[in-house]
Amino acid sequence: MEDKYFVHPTAVIDEGCEIAVGVKIWHFSHIMPNCIIGERCNIGQNVVISPEVVLGTNVKVQNNVSIYTGVICEDDVFLGPSMVFTNVINPRSAVNRKAEYAKTTVKKGASIGANATIVCGNDIGKYAFIGAGAVVTKTILDYALVVGNPAKQIGWVSEYGHKLQFDENGLGTCPETKQVYRLTNNKVAKINE
């Protein structure tokens, strides 16, 4: 079974994990019990994935990332170096709050930059782009570009991560793919393939 994916000898995988074909798990990473890791995920070095985390297909987890219980990453998510999720809104060392873990979903194609923090219970929209060092304290819209502490939206991005400029008709074009997007009522949607 292990020949369908790669695990560095220093990595630890606990019992009950489902690891799909083409996954790579690098140096000193720890995959805790009952995680689901989708096809072609790449888990960098010194990554901790807590129990019952779910990663979709082709998720890229860079070095030193912590993904805590309650997090789901859909397909094609990018988690930048040293970014972190939380899972309790008011942690205390002397108070056990494991029954209060808040859920966080990172939707398809979203990218989270290096050293960003995602406060639990705040979902990240599809293809959203969270800038390096941002501290996310609220739910982020699809295609939103957010930066800062606390994170604030400063624009919109295409599925390829390019900032979109919208004309008077609310249309914006990705410079790389020429895909066209429409901005209506503070929501962005792709309108062609």
Q: Is the pTM of this model over 0.85?
A: yes
Domains of the chain, CATH where assigned: 2-157 (2.160.10.10), 161-193 (no CATH)
Q: How many whole angstroms separate alpha carbon 161 and alpha carbon 169?
A: 22
Q: Tens-digit pLDDT profile for the chain (193 aa)?
A: 457 999 999 999 999 999 999 999 999 999 999 999 999 999 999 999 999 999 999 999 999 999 999 999 999 999 999 999 999 999 999 999 988 899 999 999 999 999 999 999 999 999 999 999 999 999 999 999 999 999 999 999 999 999 999 999 999 999 999 999 999 999 999 997 5
- CB count in 10 Å sphere of residue 81: 16
Q: How many whole angstroms separate alpha carbon 193 and alpha carbon 190?
A: 8
pLDDT at residue 193, rounded to an integer: 59
Are the C-beta atoms of 114 and 120 separated by less than 8 Å?
no
pLDDT at residue 98, rounded to an integer: 86
Contacts 24+ apart (CB under 8 A), 123-131: 126/74, 127/157, 127/158, 127/159, 128/157, 129/157, 129/161
